[in-house]
A and B are shown apart, each in its own frame.
Chain A
Amino acid sequence: MMDFQKVKNQLTMYTPQKFLTAVLTNEQDEDSSIIFSQQLEKQFEQNIQYLASEETISSEDVATWKKSEFLVIAQTIDGDYIAGTIHQTLVIPASLYKTDIEVFDLKLPDFFIEYTNNTLKSALLPK
């Protein structure tokens, strides 16, 4: 498992993009339950269109989040998305159901530190 404390210490200034860039300089575990990628944003936005319904995330929701530098940075073993804003981390189910989104008041580095310490409560994240 990646050392997220070390990644956090490398960051002089935090944004989701800077965090992702820092993470990607480290080698990812081949069999990890969470895979970080720069390529997820496009796929995420295509899926918003494809799965569009009253219950799912809309482009307007994303536009609102983007005011806080929202960025999709990882995908879990179940196809769920992990995204960050300046202040929060969002775990978004593959279904894109709004009611199932888990919002953590943690910046991405702290979120992953807690995740690796098994101190996060989540119905979506891989155990």
Chain B
Amino acid sequence: MARKKQKPPFSPAIMLVAVLLILVLGVFGVQVPDTIQEMFGVHTQQQSKPTTTTSVSSTNPGPKELGPATFSTNELTDSKSGWIDYHSLDSLGRATGAEALLKPAMVNTGTSANKDIRPPGFISGLDPTNHSRGHLIGRQLGGSGDDARNLTTLYQTPVNTPFMTKYENQVRQALDKGETIRYRVTPVYEGTELLCKQIDIEAKGLNKNTTVDFRVTILNEK
């Protein structure tokens, strides 16, 4: 049965002006209440903002979630056992990235950061530097603390903990449920700066019903 066409509540001229006004306001980021938008048959979507958390730091804006991971089909090839591939140090001795295929058996097989390894830019002591020898592939995920290629200087709080830990925990949860996770961590440096500007993390579960599929950027700031 055909639906009866409803007569608009306003004249076409008023409708046109109102619609244009709502759209223009939307362009400038002004959100007109949904009820008014519905009245004129338009809907402007609020621009989605990256997920950020500021509660644990007054200056670091928190992780920016950038959507699903970007692994190619080839990169998502499964294998019987897991693996970790640390990229080479660059000419300044900085860790440049690590890739992994994480399996449940790898949980908690990593090692603590070796005190004798001092990643470029690292200064000892909790305060005021707050530096850590940050694992690219976290210890709980099987990452080595004895391989300089897996350690980069990060601010312990809030970057290493809790920001990075939050995403490592998500991966850990999936591994504990028996999943296999493709994982990549990349420190991004600006020029010859010894401390990375940010850490990019990507993770994707290989199981059909996986809950892990993310790409996130964490600024290396206090």
Contact = CB atoms under 8 A, between A and B. Distances in A.
Nearest to A76: B112
A78 B166 contact: no
Contacts of A79: 132, 156-157, 160-161, 165
Interface string B102-117: 0000001000110100
A51 B162 contact: yes
Contacts of B133: 77
A32 to B, nearest CB: 8
A80 to B, nearest CB: 8
B158 to A, nearest CB: 8
Contact of B112 (A30, A46, A75, A124): A124
B212 to A, nearest CB: 14
B57 to A, nearest CB: 9
B173 A55 contact: yes
Contacts of B173: 53, 55
B125 A35 contact: yes
A68 interface: no
Contacts of A31: 115, 124
Interface residues of A, number: 31
Given A97-B140, A97-B169, A77 B112 contact: yes
B163 to A, nearest CB: 8
Interface string A32-52: 010101010001001101110
Q: Is the interface of A mostly helix, strand, loop or mixed?
A: loop
A93 interface: yes
A24 to B, nearest CB: 12
A84 to B, nearest CB: 18
A55 to B, nearest CB: 6
B112 A35 contact: no
A47 B112 contact: no
B210 interface: no
Contacts of B145: 78
A51 B112 contact: no
Interface string A92-119: 0111110010000000000000000000
Given A37-B126, A50-B56, A95 B168 contact: yes
Interface of B: 53, 55-56, 108, 112-113, 115, 124-127, 132-133, 135, 139-140, 145, 156-157, 160-162, 165-166, 168-169, 172-173, 176
17 contacts: A30-B125, A31-B124, A35-B126, A50-B53, A50-B55, A50-B56, A50-B162, A51-B165, A53-B173, A55-B176, A77-B132, A96-B169, A97-B172, A100-B108, A125-B112, A126-B112, A127-B112
